[in-house]
Amino acid sequence: MANRKKKPTLDRRSNCPVACVLDLVGDKWTLLVVRDLALGVTHFEEFLDSPEKIATNILSDRLKRLQAAGYITKETEPADKRKSIYTFTERGKELKTLMGLLARWGLKNIPNTSAEHPEL
Per residue in 6-18, pLDDT (tens digit) is 444 456 678 888 8
- Would 6 be classed as within a structural domain? no
- Would 120 be classed as within a structural domain? no
- Would 9 be classed as within a structural domain? no
Structural domain including 80 reads 17-108
- Would 115 be classed as within a structural domain? no
pTM of the full structure: 0.80
- Would 36 be classed as within a structural domain? yes
CATH code for the domain of 75: 1.10.10.10
Query: Which residues on adjacent β-strands are paired with residue 85?
Result: 75
- Would 113 be classed as within a structural domain? no
- Would 30 be classed as within a structural domain? yes
- In whole angstroms, what is the distance from residue 71 CA to residue 87 CA? 9
Comparing 71 with 1, which gets the higher pLDDT?
71
Strands in the chain per DSSP E: 72-76, 84-88
